[in-house]
Amino acid sequence: MVSRTIRTRSGGRGTGRPTLEEVAARAGVGRGTVSRVINGSPRVSDRTRAVVEAAVAELGYVPNRAARALAANRTDAIALVVPEPEDRFFAEPYFSDMVRGVGAALAETDMQLLLTLAGSDRERRRLGQYLAAHRVDGVLLVSVHADDSIPDMLEDLSIPAVISGRRSAAETLAAVDSDNFEGARSAVAHLAARGRRAIATITGRLDVYGAQCRLDGYRAALAAAGLPPDARLTAPADFTEEGGRRAMRELLGRCPELDAVFAASDVMAAGARQVLREAGRRIPDDVALVGFDDSAVARHMDPALTSVRQPIEEMGRTMAEVLLQEIEGRTGERPQIVLPTELVVRESS
Amino acid sequence: MVSRTIRTRSGGRGTGRPTLEEVAARAGVGRGTVSRVINGSPRVSDRTRAVVEAAVAELGYVPNRAARALAANRTDAIALVVPEPEDRFFAEPYFSDMVRGVGAALAETDMQLLLTLAGSDRERRRLGQYLAAHRVDGVLLVSVHADDSIPDMLEDLSIPAVISGRRSAAETLAAVDSDNFEGARSAVAHLAARGRRAIATITGRLDVYGAQCRLDGYRAALAAAGLPPDARLTAPADFTEEGGRRAMRELLGRCPELDAVFAASDVMAAGARQVLREAGRRIPDDVALVGFDDSAVARHMDPALTSVRQPIEEMGRTMAEVLLQEIEGRTGERPQIVLPTELVVRESS
DNA sequence: AGGTGCTGTGGGAGCGCTCCCATGTGTGAT
DNA sequence: ATCACACATGGGAGCGCTCCCACAGCACCT
């Protein structure tokens, strides 16, 4: 553990912490040189670097972040903005995985991570002020709806940002997404390979690009398996459990002969499972069920749910890395990275 | 939504945001006066204040936090330090409630909240540097073990801190705690009032002061109900589900005749429930079960678990308020606040 | 008329850094 | 030996604010 004696300078309102200047004096070099060493500039001789590093260690010097921020016009902080209410943020493992990934990428740097929930209007207003005040160098945007105003705001303020999940095929922001199309395709191909013929799907809100991709993947897999498309086998929902229930009832009413369901989220699959149970259908004997997200819900479901795993933690790490590059370079490249998904087969299919 | 035109100053690396000086010029007053208005000093005439406020609004002035921090030698940020690994932090509703409460108290101020997990040694080291660098004005310490070094570190660095849950009866830090003794007492009194005679308890780690208080409350309730103390009815555990299972097996082996169990946490109660089930005991018919924390676990258990509710959110709010006062006043009062608990009776008792 | 004590205000100094220009100091080519 | 040009280094200027001292203006007393 770091343990250090506190020295107090004779006068003034000093805090007793050593400054750059004091380190410079100790090392017998100039202020600029110490600054270069601290910031890892290559333009310092090895000898000098060693002397300075010794002085830093002896004095227990730690840079004053506020001074650095003021002089360099940056904050060394990035915000993870989650436009969701607090309870959802904590409830969904999605976010904790994301935070873990982001944290991992940031651990190397001395960037500070600010968690910002922007669920309510009040919080969004505060966020607006926050961004206007340029109190962060960049923003990680998670779970954004297509019509959200935050991306525009960031654009206006020219604050570097990375979004998780593209808002459309023509996403303009830097984005890190998982391969929703391929994930859905593989899930449905898996059902077809097991001999299922009447494969239904419960979609997410189709104004969410990822939900549309999953639907496209579903259709592609059907086509590849030589199964004719059937509009009655597609039921729209909204990513909620209740929506899943409603859609499942709808499907059951329309196509009692269905033998498999691909739900575009685990939560919707949970709703579907309940309705299937009530209707006396056995899973997977009568109806196979596959979800998406591979969340805790999937593992704890009875029977355990086959699901498409998204590499959330890796997405978080990648987002942070991309953002750091954007902040660094400001090249305006805006990379779009798509990470692969993985089908996790369990009992429900 | 805040929407503001970005003006760019002709040269330099300026960000285009107005400064105090520009507001002063606009309002036709001095820099100091604007500063006084911004900071709510009473030493400004009403007329001047109005003029300055108009200028602030016109220019869309937002103070530069870094400059303020540098000049005033404070950071306007506090850290919520959780010495737990990431997964526990997100898993337990305890923390989300706590964050909500703290957030509520901070919403008024422009204090920034930093979440700091110090579960691993690596993270603790980083935290040490963080604190040494005085990057926060104060610290909220949650879920601290008796032998933790963080409180000492804070003391050494004379950083204001508030702890949740006292470490001992003689807590030296400012603390906000719930009334563990009274919570346990009321839970056990409730069991006794329902005619239970052989009331066992599964304790938490007794080096945690709160766990000791709960045990004391249990004993006090037994005494008050005229039930003889019986050492065989007390099984130590460690707040985990597995510990709860182990303790329950132990109790069942030692005292097959027990008709009630008070577990010092809901999670341990969940473990106990499982063992009771396996042993063929019906809840609450054969054995009544009461937990502590009133977490989601309690509500979702089958049967729903009677539990002692701690006002976590209120504790968070109170902690933040106390900390703000400490930072403000530095009076060295170190208040110790104990908040009442509430017994929530459900099906398990 | 001069003193005394307010309140309100202006602006200098300085917080601890980074940036950058000016100044050495050493190397190799001429 | 001389010039050119690298690299290494020192330190001035300045980031935008707070703190605080100085001073103006006014009311009230002696």
- The tens digit of pLDDT for each residue in A86-106 reads 777 877 778 888 998 999 999
CB–CB contact B66 A70 (8 Å): yes
Please tell me the predicted confidence (pLDDT) of residue B330: 59
Nucleotide nearest to A32 (CA to C1'): D10
Q: Is the CB of A249 under 7 A from strand C?
A: no
Please tell me the predicted confidence (pLDDT) of residue A22: 94
What the block records as the tokens of B7 is 């003006």
Please tell me the predicted confidence (pLDDT) of residue A14: 42
Contact A251, A233 (CB under 8 A): yes
Closest to B317 (Cα-Cα) out of B79, B162, B105, B143: B105
Please tell me the predicted confidence (pLDDT) of residue A2: 24
Please, which pLDDT band fits residue A4 given cuts at 50, 70 and 90?
Answer: very low
CB–CB contact B90 A93 (8 Å): yes
Distance CA B62, CA B276 (A): 61
Please tell me the predicted confidence (pLDDT) of residue A9: 31
Weakly modelled stretches of chain B, pLDDT under 70: 1-15, 330-332
Query: With b meaning 16 or more CB within 10 Å and e meaning fewer, what string describes B231-248?
Result: eebbbbbbbebebbbbbb
- Which residue has tokens 């699959």? A269
Distance CA B310, CA B182 (A): 11
Name residues whose C-beta falls within 8 Å of residue A146's C-beta, 6 or more positions apart in sequence: A167, A168, A207, A208, A209
Residue type, A121: D
Three-class DSSP category at A233 = helix
CB atoms within 10 A of CB A25: 16
CA pseudo-torsion sign B339, B169, B344, A300: positive
pLDDT at A66 over 60: yes
B178, β-bridge pairs: B339
Name residues whose C-beta falls within 8 Å of residue A114's C-beta, 6 or more positions apart in sequence: A77, A78, A79, A80, A136, B112, B114
Listing DSSP states for B148-194 in one string gives: -SHHHHHHHTT--EEEES-SSTT--SEEEEE-HHHHHHHHHHHHHHT
Question: pTM of whole model > 0.85?
Answer: no
Query: With b meaning 16 or more CB within 10 Å and e meaning fewer, what string describes B174-201?
Result: bbbbbbbbbbbbbbbbbbbeeebebbbb
Q: Chain B interface, mutation test: which of A13, A62, A115, most B Cβ atoms within 10 Å?
A: A62
Half-sphere exposure of A46 (CA within 13 A, CB side): 0
B65 interaction partners in chain A (CB closer than 8 Å): 69, 75, 133, 135
Q: How far is the CA of A65 from the C1' of D13 (A)?
A: 20
Contact B53, B88 (CB under 8 A): no
Distance CA A103, CA A316 (A): 8
Q: Is the CB of B45 under 7 A from strand C?
A: yes
Distance CA B186, CA A289 (A): 47
CB–CB contact B128 A2 (8 Å): yes
Cis amide leading into B18 (omega within 30): no
CB-contacted nucleotides of strand C (7 Å): 7-12, 14-21
B8 interaction partners in chain A (CB closer than 8 Å): none
Instruction: Give the closest of A2, A114, A125 to B132, CB-based.
Output: A2
Output the average pLDDT for chain A: 89
CB atoms within 10 A of CB A52: 24
Please, which pLDDT band fits residue A15 given cuts at 50, 70 and 90?
Answer: low
Please tell me the predicted confidence (pLDDT) of residue B79: 95
Please, which pLDDT band fits residue A197 given cuts at 50, 70 and 90?
Answer: very high
Please tell me the predicted confidence (pLDDT) of residue A296: 73
A64 interaction partners in chain B (CB closer than 8 Å): 70, 133
CB–CB contact A1 B67 (8 Å): no
Which chain A residue has the Cα nearest residue B63? Answer: A133
Please, which pLDDT band fits residue A331 given cuts at 50, 70 and 90?
Answer: low
Return the minimum-mean-pLDDT range out of A61-70, A264-273, B126-135, B305-314.
B126-135
Give pLDDT tens digits for B102-125: 999 998 888 999 988 888 888 888
List, edge to edge, every strand of the sheet that includes A112-117: A112-117, A77-82, A138-141, A161-164, A174-178, A336-339
CB–CB contact A125 B90 (8 Å): no
Which chain A residue has the Cα nearest residue B116? Answer: A113
Distance CA A180, CA B74 (A): 46
